[in-house]
Chain A
């Protein structure tokens, strides 16, 4: 099964750009990953899905154009340009695995983004 690894923290200054990384374990380079944003005390919010060819489908409702994704090798990236205070959140990546009765979902540990 895939293991998704995320750095526990990241930071960026207001107006700067930041790239968050979700790394899939070896052998799972073809997997698509969903990105979720979670503000304190709230349920997560779907950002977008990413594969090796980039975004899959559409962004989540209300996700600004400042958010973009890229997939390369085992890495799935979420880039936020012109960071705003409201972008300070936890960001989670998740992927589905298996088929038939062996299907399941797995998430990474999440990255806490601090806006300086």
Chain B
């Protein structure tokens, strides 16, 4: 059974960097699939942050691209996310999820169908 577990600081000060880890068990990241970060502000809808393939191919939300970085560590079987210069607007539950992918005619492959999700971790940005 594939399981994902997010961890990180529950509280981050404004202007600092948020760092989260998603530990994966029951599946080797290097075997395939995209791995994604998605967040949800309290009481609001979902917002896709970005996705990474085990080879390192990444896609980011254009609205966050200048501040976010996602990486994969196959030796630890985990995915990491860093979000710089955080503000109160970044307060949210952060989820990691496994994604299937499809190819387009140009050979690009894109994530879709997020099939396994973690429980999420709440991050509050406050001084």
Contacts and interface: CB of A to CB of B under 8 A. Distances in A.
Contacts, number: 65
Q: Report whether over half of chain A's contact residues are helix, strand or loop; otherwise say mixed.
A: mixed
Contact of B104 (A46, A99, A101): A99
Interface stretch (B11-19, B82-90, B109-117): B109-117
B62 interface: yes
> By DSSP majority rule, is chain B's interface helix, strand, loop, or mixed?
strand
6 contacts: A43-B97, A49-B112, A92-B45, A100-B106, A104-B61, A107-B48
Which 3 residue pairs are nearest across A and B when measured between Cβ atoms?
A43-B117, A105-B48, A107-B46
Contact residues on A (Cβ < 8 Å of other chain), bracket? 20 to 34
Nearest to A48: B113
A11 B119 CA distance: 26
Given A43-B117, A96-B111, 16 more contacts: A34-B114, A42-B119, A43-B95, A43-B97, A43-B118, A44-B95, A44-B97, A60-B115, A100-B106, A105-B48, A107-B45, A107-B46, A109-B45, A110-B44, A110-B45, A110-B46
